Amino acid sequence: MKTNHAATWLGGLIFWLLALQALPAETLPKPQQPFAGLGGVSEVDTTPSWPEAVQALKGAPSLIVIVLDDVGFGQLGCYGGPIATPNIDKLGMRGRRYNNFHTTGLGTPTRAALLTGRNHPFVGIASTPEGASGQPAWKGVIPKSTASLAELLKMSGYNTFAVGKWDLTPLDATTAAGPFDQWPLGMGFERYYGFLGRETDQWAPILVEDNHRIDLPVSHGYQLSADLTDRAIGYIRDQKQAHNGRPFFLYLAYGATHVPLHAPKAWVDKHEGKFDQGWDQVRADTFDRQKKLGIIPKDAILAARDPGIKPWAELSTAERKLFVRLQEAFAGYLSYTDDQIGRLLSLLTELRLMDNTLIVLLSDNGASLEGGATGTTHIERLRNGFAMTVEEMLAEHDKISGPETTPLYPLGWAVSGNTPFKGGKGDAHRGGVAVPLILYWPKRIKDDGKVAGQYHHAVDIMPTLLEALGIPMPAKVNGFDQKPLEGVSFTYTFTDKTAATRKSVQYYAILGSRALWSKGWTAVARHRPGTDWKEDPWELYHVEKDFAEANDLAAKEPDKLRELVDLWWSEASRYGVLPQYQRVATTTTTTTQATGVVPRARYEYYPGTTPVPALVAPPLADHSYAILVDARMPKNGAEGLLAAQGGRFGGWALFVKERKLYYVHNLLGIQSFEIVSDQSVPAGALRIRYEFTRSAKDTGTGALFINGRRVGELRGITTAPLGYGQVSSEGVQVGRAWGTSVSHHYQPPFIFGGELRSVTIDSKGEQDQLRQRKGRATGAADRD
Q: Where are the domains of the chain?
A: 62-270+299-567, 603-777
Dist. CA 157–CA 149, nearest whole Å: 13
The answer to whether the Cα torsion of 500, 365, 469, 483 is positive or negative is negative
**672-717 pLDDT, tens per residue?**
999 999 999 999 999 999 999 999 999 999 999 999 999 999 999 9
* pLDDT recorded at residue 271: 98
Dist. CA 707–CA 710, nearest whole Å: 9
Dist. CA 649–CA 669, nearest whole Å: 5
* pLDDT recorded at residue 581: 67
Name residues of the chain where pLDDT drops below 50: 1-3, 5-31, 584-596, 766-784
Check if the beta carbon of residue 429 is closer than 8 Å to that of residue 421: yes
* pLDDT recorded at residue 597: 56
Check if the beta carbon of residue 156 is closer than 8 Å to that of residue 467: no
Task: Give the CB-side neighbour count of residue 355, counting CA atoms within 13 A.
Answer: 3
The strand pairing partners of 755, in sequence order, are: 632
- By residue count, the chain amounts to 784
Q: Is 516 exposed, middle or buried (0-12, 13-18, 19+ CB in 10 A)?
A: buried
Q: What is the CATH number that goes with domain 62-270+299-567?
A: 3.40.720.10
**Which of 351, 493, 366 is CA-nearest to residue 76?**
366
* pLDDT recorded at residue 414: 98
* pLDDT recorded at residue 389: 97
Q: Is 449 exposed, middle or buried (0-12, 13-18, 19+ CB in 10 A)?
A: middle
* pLDDT recorded at residue 598: 66
Check if the beta carbon of residue 700 is closer than 8 Å to that of residue 717: yes
Which pTM value belongs to this model?
Answer: 0.91
Task: Give the CB-side neighbour count of residue 607, counting CA atoms within 13 A.
Answer: 18
Q: Do β-strands 505-510 and 513-518 pair in parallel, antiparallel, or remain unpaired?
A: antiparallel
CATH fold for the domain made of 603-777:
Jelly Rolls (2.60.120)
